[in-house]
Structure 1
């Protein structure tokens, strides 16, 4: 599987459980592992959900860092803060721990959105605000990130 597709509006209950939308659950079946890793996002106030295979690839890179270099040790500590292994239960729900619910300020209405080989979980209001504020700059960002893609691949 190359990546997840879609944006889904869901609800989270007081115990931190959210029901996985059926169309997203179908995509999860393509992932080899039943376990996922959920963690704090590096750049935004949301959560990231990685299939175990994707997480293992990232951890191979992180484990190659020299932990006797302070900035590496600091990075590893911050990157793995709050990391949890989660599984979808028999009722197709994902349990999010209280510390991660608090970190992402998840209220009742949430958004699960695809981000390549991982998913992001956002409070709905925060997600809408990030999308709205970035619309004006998105064309410039797209040009900067993707505009030279073809020219770099040409021999």
Structure 2
């Protein structure tokens, strides 16, 4: 299972193509075959899942009750903007214009490794989100999320 981490900024050309960071490419599982699913994130960013990880997401989505309004709403709004992509020969991905518009990505994109997926942000949107989070509130959030986990030691 890949574990993507780090932050990488790359320019976006006028056709929406952006270089896929080499350090992230090294963490792709062979099963991913350099294919991805790209979709709207739950914040103003894009989620990029390698094919092998996307299959795990689809397994989880298949377990959602489609007969409930909540289930239908979640599936519809998560999947409706999903696009399948592959790296080109120059190791670039092409960002669809509707996803670039929604996320605010224009001349450059920031790739952030986020465990099993990669987030793609516009620098401006990322600055906005970062400015809303003080170090103290991040510490509190980290303790709340990670404090209940018992892994036998400190991080």
Aligned residues: 150
The TM-score, its normalising length taken from structure 2, stands at 0.89
Aligned to 1:25: 25
**Can you give the 5+ residue segments of structure 1 that lack an aligned partner in the other structure?**
none
- What is the CA distance between 1:27 and its match in structure 2? 2.2
**Can you give the 5+ residue segments of structure 2 that lack an aligned partner in the other structure?**
none
Which has the higher mean CA deviation after the structures are superposed, 103-112 or 130-139?
130-139
The TM-score, its normalising length taken from structure 1, stands at 0.89
**Structure 1 70/24 Cα, relative in aligned 2: closer, same or farther at 3 Å?**
same
Cα deviation code 1:69-94 (max 9, x no counterpart)? 11111111001121000000001110
- What is the CA distance between 1:118 and its match in structure 2? 0.3
Aligned to 2:146: 146
Aligned mates of 2:148, 2:99 — CA distance in 1: 37
Aligned to 1:3: 3
Aligned to 2:12: 12
Aligned to 1:109: 108
Aligned to 1:87: 86
Aligned mates of 1:55, 1:82 — CA distance in 2: 14
Q: Give the ranges of 4+ consecutive aligned residues of structure 1 lying more than 4 Å apart after TM superposition.
A: none
Cα deviation code 1:80-128 (max 9, x no counterpart)? 1210000000011101111111110101122100111100000012112
Q: CA RMSD in A?
A: 1.7
Aligned to 1:62: 61
Q: Does the 8 A contact of 2:16 with 2:94 survive in 1?
A: yes
